[in-house]
Amino acid sequence: MSKSGGRIQSAKIVLIMLGITLWSLSILVRLVQLQIVQHEAYAQSARKKQQVTRSVSAPRGIIYDSHMDELATSVTVPTVLATPKIIDNKPEASRKLAAILDIDPEKLLKKMSDPARKEYLRIKRRIDPAAETSIKALGIEGVYFVDESMRVYPNRELASHALGFVNMEGNGGAGLELQYDRELKGEDGLFSFDVDARRQSFRVNVEKPPVQGCSLALSIDKSIQFIADRELAAAVKNAQAKAGTAIIMESDTGRILALSNYPTFNCNTYNTYTAGQRRNRAVTDMFEPGSTFKVVVATAALEAGLIRPDDVIDCENGSITLAGHVFRDHKQYGKLTFNEILEHSSNVGAVKLGLRLAQQRLYEAIRHFGFGSRTGIDLPGEIAGSVRDTKDWSGLSIASISFGQEVGVTSIQILTAINAIANGGYLVRPSVVDRIIDENHNTIRENRPIRTQIMSHRTAEAVTEAFEGAVVRGTGKHAALEGYRAAGKTGTAQKIVNGRYEKGVYVSSFIGFAPLPNPRITILVQLDEPKNKYYGGDVCAPYFKNIAQEVLLQLRVPPDTNLSLPEYTPAIADTGTEDFLPDAIPAQPVTASNTDPLSADQPDVIAVQIKSARIVLPDFRGMSKRKVLNRCIDLGIHLQSKGSGVAIYQSPLPGTEIPVGSTCSVTFTKKSVGDHVATLEPRSAVQRANLQLSSGNAP
C-alpha cells in the first residue's frame, strides 16, 4: 500500500472514531437530559400512565344516644368507575351495565363516548354489593370499583329532625350532622394503585390514611324518643292537625331527652321528602304562644311584690275594656285569686297583672325569660322570635302581650321558660349533645349545663302550686298522671294569616312538668291547626299525660303508691277554655304614649266594704275553698289557704272574735271529710289535719 493510501485509511479511521465519539457523546448528553435534567417530568408522566391516585373520604364519626346505642353510623359501599378509552365495545358494555344498575343505557353510552371522560368516568355511586358481584362477572376491561363511606341511620325516622342527614357529597345537610359537621367529618385519605397497560390494577399504595371523625354522645334517649314520636303522631292524627312538636327536657340541666316533629322523614332517604317535612319546627317556626305565656306576667308580678298567691283580683265578670277594645274571658269570672287566674287561664286576670307591671317592667320580664333571643341550643336554624321594643307598643299591647299575643316565640323558647318554674327559678340552656368523643370513647369536649337564676325559689314554688291547680281543677285536668303529681299550663292561640288572626285556625299546646315536688322532666306537646277540638287542654294535655307517665317509669322514677287518683271538683272544673281573644285584630305597632292605658288609681283588686271593726269567725270546716274565699271577702278578712278541696281546720278557731283585715289560715284536703269534721273537737281537728298532711293526701 502506498503512503498516500495509508494516510487515507488512517483518516477514515479517525473520522469513524470521531463519529463514534460524537454519537456516544450525544447519547450521553441525551441520557443526562432524560435521566437527570428531565427526570422528574418523565417520572411524573410515567406515574400518570402507570398509577391512578384517588382521595378516600374518612368515615364520619358515630352519633350515639345517651346509652351509647348507635343513631347514625357509616358503612363501606362500592362505587363503580370506568376508564372508557380502553373499553372495546362501549355500546355492549353500556347496555349490560345499565341493566344491572337500573340506569339509562343511552345516557351511559353518551358519557362513555365523551372525550373529556375517556380517562375517568364515575358510572354510579354507592351500589348494592349484589350489583358489584354481577358487574365483576361481566369481566369488562376498564371497569373497576372503589369503596366509599355511606351514612346509615339504623332507626330510620327516629329523632330525624335532631340528627339531620348527610348529602351525597358527604357533607352534613341538616340537624346535628350539619351543626357538628367539622367534628364528624375527620380527615380524608389519599391512595394510589398501579395499573398495567390494560389499566388493570395490581398494587395499592396508601399515600395518606384517612382519619375517622369524632363521635357524638347525645342526651337523647332512644326509648324516650320512641315514646315521644309515637304519641305525637297519634296526637296529630287524632286532632287532624297540620303538624306537631313534642320536646322532653331534663328539668334541672336543660338536656333534651327527646325532640320530635310531625310530619317526620327517613334520614336514609331524605331526598324523597319535601323541605317542609325535613324542617325542624321546634327551633325554626315562630308562633304566638297564647296562655302559656302568662307565666311571664305571673312570675314578674310575684317577683315585684305586686301580688301574693292568695290575693284576689276582680275579673269583672269576664271582660275588661282598654283603649276602646274589649278583652274577654271564655267564662264570666268574678273574683279570682292569683292561683285561680292561672288555673282557669283568665285573660282578664292576666291583663290586670300586666297593667300592674306597666310597660317597662313587663318588657324586661319578657327579655329576662329569654324571649327575643336564641336559647343557644346546639341545633342549626334556631331563630330568635319576635319581641318589639316598648316604643313600638300600642295602647293595647300590655293587655295583648299579657296573655300571649303580639309576641313571637319558638317551641324551644316557651319550653325553656316554663322549665324555669319546674327547676326552682333557673333559665337553662337546652342542649342535645352531651360529649364529643374520639374513636376510643375518650372525651374531647363536654357540654356542661348553663343556668341563670331569673326568679326566686319562692316565686317558682308559688307558680308551681298554681300550675298544679290547673292540672287538678283547671284547664289542664286531662294531663293529670296516675301515681305522680304534675303541673302545667294550657295554651290555645289563634294563628296569624296575612297579617290578621284567622278564625278557626289555632296553635294548641300544653307544657307541664312532673313529678312534684321535685320535677325530673318538662314536656311540651304542641299541635298546629287541629280540627274539631282545638283547646290545648283537650288535644295536647292527654298526650302530655301519656308521654310523662311512660317516661317517668323509663327513668325509673318510682310512683307514689299512696297517691290517690286525681279528684276533680265539678263546681269549679272547666269543660274547656279559650286562652285567646276570639277574632281579635292584631294591634299595629305604634309609638306608645308615656301614660299607662289604665291609670294607677283605677281599682283592679276587690274593694272590701268594712261594716264593723271586729267580726266573729264562722266555722269554715266542710266548706269548699271557693265558698270559704267568698265568705272571707264578705267578712273583710284575708284567707291564707293550704291545700285544696274542703276545709278541715282553721286558725283562729270558729267563734273567735278578730279585727277586720286580719288573716285566717284554713287547711283544705281532697278527702271527703265534710260529713264528720263538724263533730270533731278543736284538738282532734288539729291532729287530723296534721295526719292528712303527713300522709301526703293534701298537696
Q: Which residues contact 119 (CB under 8 A, 6 or more apart)?
A: 83, 85
Q: What kind of fold does domain 222-554 have according to CATH?
A: Beta-lactamase (3.40.710)
Q: Using the CB atoms, write b or e for 589-613: b if 16+ within 10 Å.
A: eeebeeebbbeeeeebeeebeeeee
Whether the Cβ atoms of residue 608 and residue 509 lie closer than 8 Å to each other: no
CA distance 431 to 525: 18
Contact between 475 and 577 (Cβ < 8 Å): yes
**DSSP state at residue 148:** E
Dist. CA 49–CA 52, nearest whole Å: 8
**For 34, which DSSP code?**
I
Whole-number Cα distances in Å, 677 to 64, 302, 608, 647, 695: 58, 35, 30, 9, 18
Q: Quick check: is 291 catalytic?
A: yes
Closest CA to 622 of 556, 688, 559, 573: 688
Which residues on neighbouring strands pair with residue 497, listed in sequence order?
A: 500
What pLDDT is attached to residue 613?
54
Q: Which grid cell is 464?
A: 308551681
SS3 578: coil
Task: Supply the pLDDT for residue 132.
Answer: 82
- Which segments within 323-439 are labelled E, that is strand? 325-328, 335-337, 426-428, 433-437
| Strand, coil or helix: 525 | strand
Write down the pTM of the prediction.
0.71
53-215 folds as Penicillin-binding protein 2a (Domain 2) (3.90.1310)
What's the CA gap between 52 and 145, in Å, rounded?
13
pLDDT of amino acid 54: 64
CATH number for region 614-694 = 3.30.10.20
SS (H, E, C) 536-561: HHHHCHHHHHHHHHHHHHHCCCCCCC
User: Phi/psi at 670 (nearest 5 deg)?
Assistant: -80, -10
Q: Which amino acid is at 656?
A: T
Domains 53-215 and 614-694 share a fold: no
* Residue with cell string 296534721: 690
Question: Grid coordinates representing 632?
Answer: 272571707
- Per-residue pLDDT tens digits for 306-316: 998 888 988 88
Q: Helices (DSSP H) in 423-540: which residue ranges?
A: 457-472, 536-539
pLDDT value of residue 415? 97
Summarised one tens digit per residue, pLDDT across range 218-276 is 999 999 999 999 999 999 999 999 999 999 999 999 999 999 999 999 999 999 999 99
Q: Give the bridge partners for 189, in sequence order.
A: 56
**By three-state DSSP, how is residue 675 classified?**
coil
Q: CB within 8 A of 359, min separation 6: which ones?
A: 390, 393, 397, 398, 592, 596
Closest alpha carbon to 245 in 486, 530, 498: 530
**Cα distance between residue 190 and residue 154, in whole Å:** 29
| Cell 326552682 sits on residue | 424
Domain ranges of the chain: 3-37, 53-215, 222-554, 614-694
Decide: helix, strand or coil at residue 667: strand
Active site residue: 291, 394, 411, 641, which one? 291
379 to 176, 185, 376, 452, 589: CA distances (angstroms): 6, 17, 8, 21, 32
pLDDT, residue 687, reads: 36
Walking along the chain (699 residues) 10 residues at a time, the average pLDDT comes out as: 68 82 82 76 66 71 94 86 81 84 84 79 81 83 78 92 90 94 86 60 64 93 94 96 97 97 94 92 92 91 90 86 80 87 88 91 94 95 92 88 90 96 96 94 92 94 93 90 92 82 88 95 96 91 94 89 51 34 34 29 25 71 79 73 75 79 74 36 34 32
pLDDT recorded at residue 536: 92
